[in-house]
A and B are shown apart, each in its own frame.
Chain A
């Protein structure tokens, strides 16, 4: 598994013509099923680029590594702010680490 979409959190970006992950996935992998929840059509085609993870406004998507390359359950989520990105990493024991990183210059408009 490369991304995990929590269907209890996903709201399908109701009201938008496409779910945000569907709009952004560079591999055309995410889509909205019957106008409700987003799913990934093929886990084995995921590049683990995390674009959908960043794009999801309710943090329903987390990044994981395929079991083949890592048998522990670490995971990663992101929140985009106007000029920074906030990342949360959970390690194999469930410990949490947060990173706040500048992502674009503040133009003060």
Chain B
């Protein structure tokens, strides 16, 4: 197999919202700067924006202040957020949205040209083609996009990240991309936990199934400090098709009702705030209704008229086409039948929750030469797509600025050969464990011992310790994984990444001995929130030499 060497000034790993935006920004700031974007799929339709998007949920409408915005997020996350990071995001939101509008994104407006308010922090967009629009903006720059190249590890000399290795899944080439600075902007991690559906429907999950946590895992493996993995995300979504409930709740003013037709948030969960409760409590209440025998739960769409139904369908075609199929099946029209909702399996993300690299305000990670933006950057929840663009902008500015101080290190051939051997090993085995077997084993362990769907998301020490033990065993079996072709090799690499992420996740879950976030982190053995002890960040650093994960705490005002 051939090895391809590429030298560049800045390497961006992951061509999603943050990565594409960063590439465009670098060109604006420093047109002569050489940029390479390494992308697992094709930047025109990759990652969580592949289906499209119908709303931008992080926007500062007139009359709102950054302070009120930050207070909202702080309350949603029970006091644990990096205010400095959130503040830097809020300041940039409106500018980046304007930029993407100019790239060609249609946004719903008032007659005076301002964006129409969809919700307090939200605007309605027609984003079926949001990803192609972003990709087109990148393609107008001289950036070199490596589509269908899977990033496998950072090139790291023990002091500084100086590029990344990748595997070309179409051409079978091994990529050695040397760079002065590297921005990691990959997606979060799906596929860690067992999903609701199996067999032919196993990928009907909320989050992109090919976001396997590579960006996290690559950082973990070089000892980058990670934060808040225990702040898992579980989405309340339309059953089976995982369409966002917000589109219906906002678009049709639908209430959440239980099987008896009761407005259950108001009737049984008034103490949590009723219909004004936190995002996590909507999920908790829905789960409690199921346990109390008052499920399934629904969004009551039966009151909407035909015009609203059509508008809902248009919004969903822009973001989640499969719900249109559900509504077109027998007796499932939303005006006749309320829409059933349920919680998904847990995901590890930094865009809805805050799992990710521990970074400073300029988006530097704890490893010199490496910057993080978007889903893999921790500490700034509810940043969503627009916040990811802002982080792409900030990381780009820092990466450009720090190129001049970056050394041009030669890469030891031993390191290259070692990584090439590791990546290709599954292809050399005629028999062995299949990636599918490994993934199912991982998902079963996490489901049963680390608070998956079958455990109603609950956690406690004894089970978590068993998860720790079983994950160590599973990691030991990775050397026997076999792949018949490039497609299965990618699945094998995903297994490696997911297990590294899962092991860190379990340590975070063991460490936080309180219940901070309902469902996301519910400890049966420590059921109360304890502000006197746990108003702190839980961080981790993996040691590749000892295979141990060291836990550290960082104060809120870091």
User: Is B a genuine binding partner of A?
Assistant: yes
Binding site for B on A (CB under 8 A): 1-2, 23-28, 41, 43-51, 53-55, 63-72, 74-76, 85, 87, 89-92, 97, 99, 101-105, 107
Instruction: Check B204–A48 contact: CB distance below 8 A.
Output: yes
Which residues of A lie under 8 Å from residue B42 when comparing CB positions? 23-24, 26
A71 vs B325: C-alpha distance when bound (angstroms): 11
Which residues of A lie under 8 Å from residue B210 when comparing CB positions? 26-28, 47
Instruction: Check A28–B128 contact: CB distance below 8 A.
Output: no
A48 vs B136: C-alpha distance when bound (angstroms): 24
Which residues of B lie under 8 Å from residue A90 when comparing CB positions? 328
Which residues of A lie under 8 Å from residue B106 when comparing CB positions? 102-105
Closest to A72 in B: B329
* Given A28-B487, A50-B321, A51-B45, 18 other A-B residues pairs in contact with their CB atoms under 8 A: A27-B210, A28-B210, A44-B199, A44-B201, A45-B203, A50-B322, A51-B50, A63-B321, A69-B204, A69-B240, A69-B241, A70-B326, A87-B321, A89-B324, A99-B310, A99-B313, A101-B318, A105-B106
* Chain B positions 313-332 with a Cβ under 8 Å from a chain A Cβ: 313-314, 317-318, 321-322, 324-326, 328-330
The interface on chain B, measured as residues whose beta carbon lies within 8 A of the other chain's beta carbons, has a size of: 47
Query: Interface residues of B: mostly helix, strand, loop or mixed?
Result: loop
Q: Which listed residue, B41, B148, B209, B330, touches A45 by the CB 8 Å rule?
A: B209
Given A24-B42, A105-B105, CB of A92 within 8 Å of CB of B50: no
B128–chain A nearest beta-carbon distance, Å: 5
Instruction: Check B104–A107 contact: CB distance below 8 A.
Output: yes
Instruction: Check B200–A105 contact: CB distance below 8 A.
Output: no
- 11 A-B residue pairings within 8 Å (CB atoms): A23-B42, A26-B46, A26-B208, A64-B325, A65-B204, A69-B240, A72-B329, A74-B325, A75-B325, A104-B129, A105-B101
A101 vs B318: C-alpha distance when bound (angstroms): 8
Which residues of B lie under 8 Å from residue A1 when comparing CB positions? 200
Tell me if B345 is interfacial: C-beta within 8 Å of chain A: no
Q: What 0/1 pattern do residues 117 to 150 of B give for CB contact below 8 A with A? A: 0000000001011000100000000000000100
Q: Which listed residue, B44, B169, B317, touches A99 by the CB 8 Å rule?
A: B317
Tell me if B184 is interfacial: C-beta within 8 Å of chain A: no
Instruction: Check B325–A103 contact: CB distance below 8 A.
Output: no
A65–chain B nearest beta-carbon distance, Å: 5
Instruction: Check A50–B51 contact: CB distance below 8 A.
Output: yes
Closest to A90 in B: B328
Instruction: Check A101–B126 contact: CB distance below 8 A.
Output: yes
Which residues of B lie under 8 Å from residue A46 when comparing CB positions? 203
* Chain B positions 234-273 with a Cβ under 8 Å from a chain A Cβ: 240-241
A99 vs B314: C-alpha distance when bound (angstroms): 7
Instruction: Check B199–A101 contact: CB distance below 8 A.
Output: no
Tell me if B47 is interfacial: C-beta within 8 Å of chain A: yes
A23–chain B nearest beta-carbon distance, Å: 6
Closest to A67 in B: B200
Which residues of B lie under 8 Å from residue A99 when comparing CB positions? 310, 313-314, 317
A37 vs B512: C-alpha distance when bound (angstroms): 53
Instruction: Check A68–B201 contact: CB distance below 8 A.
Output: yes
Instruction: Check A28–B325 contact: CB distance below 8 A.
Output: no
A81 vs B394: C-alpha distance when bound (angstroms): 35
Q: What 0/1 pattern do residues 336 to 362 of B give for CB contact below 8 A with A? A: 000000000000000000000000000
Q: What 0/1 pattern do residues 82 to 113 of B give for CB contact below 8 A with A? A: 00000000000000000001001110000000
Instruction: Check A92–B330 contact: CB distance below 8 A.
Output: yes
Which residues of A lie under 8 Å from residue B208 when comparing CB positions? 26, 47
Instruction: Check A48–B45 contact: CB distance below 8 A.
Output: no
B316–chain A nearest beta-carbon distance, Å: 10
B19–chain A nearest beta-carbon distance, Å: 14
Which residues of B lie under 8 Å from residue A24 when comparing CB positions? 42, 44-45
